[in-house]
Amino acid sequence: MKSHPKSDEFLEFLAFALDKLPRPSLPRLLESFESWEYRTRLRPQLRRLARSGMIEMNGRAAQRTLVISDRGRVAVSLDVDPNQRWRRAWDGKWRVLLFDLPTNRPDLRMRLWRWMRAHRFGYLQQSVWLSADPIDETHLPLKSLKLTPESFAVIEGRPVPPDRDVDLVRGAWDFNEIDRRYGVVLQLAAVGRELLHAAQAKIPQRRKWLATQRAAWADAVTLDPLLPAVLWPEGYLGRKALETRREVLAKVVGD
């Protein structure tokens, strides 16, 4: 079932609320949301999320409890857990993918580019891509690109001095743009703090902020390769943006 943007925003807010409540029953949940949006139609939202498998509702009436499902938590984190990605070990090897694409098929090159970007590969040049992780060749989009296994190669190696790992990182991914996007997330977190202290902050303002900060986070994290921490370039803002955003969302839930 395809989710609705407002349901996505509500699901994210709900995840933070359930994490804060010691016994997340339906009455306690509704009480916690009352100061945030007293007139919202919470029950229909909850039923919609339950039907889509994003949450699980158990029990009846006042004893009914709610739990964010695994599917729901994946949706909240945009199909990726940044902390898990950052904490993963790195074996010190780079994987360079080289594709032999027909020169008369620029459409194939564009489709490959989109697939590689969606899977967080770094772009070096033309049909040369970079990954810090082992590559499962069976997952490469050979069939959709009408390519044979002989049309690509994977090379493992290390940069030769004076080149360094950080040079490959900076060359394969645009961390200036990535950090600019995380900067927007941090700016919106500051706006969220202001809304918390604004006595006249209205429900539509909070709704707009919730939608805007979620879109900004998605904009940043989808471009970020989420490399192991040992490969972070100097000044990388990913972790700071994640922690600040979570802190503000938790306070909004508790307000």
Divide the 255 residues of the chain into consecutive groups of 10 and give the mean pLDDT of each group: 51 56 50 46 68 73 64 60 93 92 79 85 89 85 77 90 94 96 96 80 73 87 95 97 88 64
Q: Domain containing 110: what range?
A: 94-157
| pTM exceeds 0.75 | no
- Give the pLDDT score at 77: 57
Q: Tell me how far apart the alpha carbons of residues 207 and 1 are, in angstroms, rounded to a whole number.
A: 23
- Give the pLDDT score at 114: 83
Residue 198 covered by a domain: yes
CATH code of the domain covering residue 51: 1.10.10.10
Residue 86 covered by a domain: no
Are 53 and 118 found together in one domain? Answer: no
Are 22 and 64 found together in one domain? Answer: yes
Are 108 and 64 found together in one domain? Answer: no
**Domain count for the chain:** 3
- Give the pLDDT score at 203: 66
Beta bridge pairs of residue 96: 130, 155
CATH code of the domain covering residue 125: 3.30.70.240
Are 48 and 22 found together in one domain? Answer: yes
Residue 83 covered by a domain: no
- Give the pLDDT score at 135: 86
Are 71 and 15 found together in one domain? Answer: yes
Strand pairing report for 94-99 and 152-157: antiparallel
Write down how long the chain is.
Answer: 255
Residue 235 covered by a domain: yes
Angle at 153 between CA 150 and CA 159, to 5 degrees: 170
- Give the pLDDT score at 62: 57
Are 144 and 181 found together in one domain? Answer: no
Residue 88 covered by a domain: no
